[in-house]
Amino acid sequence: MNTNENLLLAAEWLRTSRHTVVFTGAGVSAESGIPTFRDAGGFWSDFPIEQFATWQGIAESAVKRPRRLADFVYAVLEPIAKAEPNAAHRAIARLEQHGLVTVVTQNVDNLHQAAGSGAVHELHGSFYEIVTPGGRIVRRLARHDLQRVAESIQRVRSGVAPLARLLWSLRPILGVGPRGFHRPNVVLFGDALPERAWSQALDAARDCSCLIQVGCSGTVLPAAMLPQEAKAGGARVITIDPHSSHGDVWLSGTAADILPQLAAAAYGDG
């Protein structure tokens, strides 16, 4: 099938869907300026997973290579603090005008909510929430809070006494405060997924008639099981991604290009 036939078929599945799940990964935010993890130039190509993707690795990096950890935190935080929703986030939010839509995301950047999506299940948490080790939210951040932390970390990267200054810069989001230990509400490798978000995502995947996966490499479990769960329940699976082709139909291209086209083909309102 050529690209146009794929688009028309996917649009027909979307238009006739009783319940649509949009399952997103880092690729949906790439055009908002946030790097993905595994593409060339992605986070894990610059910062090894074993040093930066677990709390233990981060603690060790703080002691052994604090300046490098400052580089990592800055690389993650600065684009998130600056990012605005792109045409893909906005098209996903508009799908709700046409029927039941549930958004399930692996991203921690709050961009679906900023674009206006209602039901968003964040499987890997949110950088905008600060929690206790038990997961209780102690503070919700605004974008300018993250921007301020990013600016302060930027100064640590070139200065003296990097560990002490890094810890001082991070204290709005990580450290010990009057209410005990606090940290960003993000899931790293080895952490359990937030129970409620995961069970609601699983229920939605099992219930839906169409699942659109956008910008997901499908490499990280258990999130990567959702398309298979949807398929096992009889749903059609549409993949939007420039490289990754799994699913019943593949719309090859970027999220911000393809999603408005798909919405236009389904409802005439790209």
| Candidate residues 203, 219, 245, 269; the one interacting with ligand OAD per rule CB under 6 A | 219
Which residues pair with residue 250 across a beta bridge?
239
DSSP state of 120: E
Which residues pair with residue 102 across a beta bridge?
21
Contact between 227 and ligand OAD per CB under 6 A? no
- Quick one: 31 or 78, whose CB is closer to ligand OAD? 31
Catalytic pick among 112, 124, 144, 182: 124
Tally of residues, the chain: 270
| Candidate residues 7, 10, 14, 30; the one interacting with ligand OAD per rule CB under 6 A | 30
Structure tokens at 145: 């809070």
The CB-of-164 to ligand OAD minimum distance in angstroms stands at 27
- Quick one: 58 or 163, whose CB is closer to ligand OAD? 58
Between CA 104 and CA 120 the distance in angstroms is 6
Between CA 68 and CA 226 the distance in angstroms is 35
Q: Which amino acid is at 183?
A: R
The CB-of-124 to ligand OAD minimum distance in angstroms stands at 5
Rounded (10°) CA dihedral 26, 28, 34, 38: 30
| Candidate residues 8, 9, 12, 42; the one interacting with ligand OAD per rule CB under 6 A | 42
Contact between 103 and ligand OAD per CB under 6 A? no
Residue nearest to ligand OAD (CB): 27
Residue 21 class from Cβ within 10 Å (0-12 exposed, 13-18 middle, 19+ buried)? buried
CB-CB contact of 117 with 103 (8 Å):
yes
**Window of 11-19, 25-33, 55-63, 171-179 that interacts with ligand OAD by CB under 6 A:** 25-33
Rounded (10°) CA dihedral 74, 66, 175, 75: 10
Contact between 95 and ligand OAD per CB under 6 A? no
Between CA 9 and CA 58 the distance in angstroms is 45
Between CA 206 and CA 214 the distance in angstroms is 18
The CB-of-78 to ligand OAD minimum distance in angstroms stands at 17
Between CA 190 and CA 233 the distance in angstroms is 29
124 is known as an active-site residue = yes
Q: 236 to 255, contacts with ligand OAD by CB under 6 A?
A: 241-244, 254-255
The CB-of-120 to ligand OAD minimum distance in angstroms stands at 14
- Quick one: 231 or 246, whose CB is closer to ligand OAD? 246
| Candidate residues 89, 124, 165, 182; the one interacting with ligand OAD per rule CB under 6 A | 124
**Which residues here bind ligand OAD, judged by CB under 6 A?**
25-27, 30-31, 36-39, 42, 53, 106, 124, 187-189, 215-217, 219-220, 241-244, 254-255
Question: Catalytic residue positions?
Answer: 124
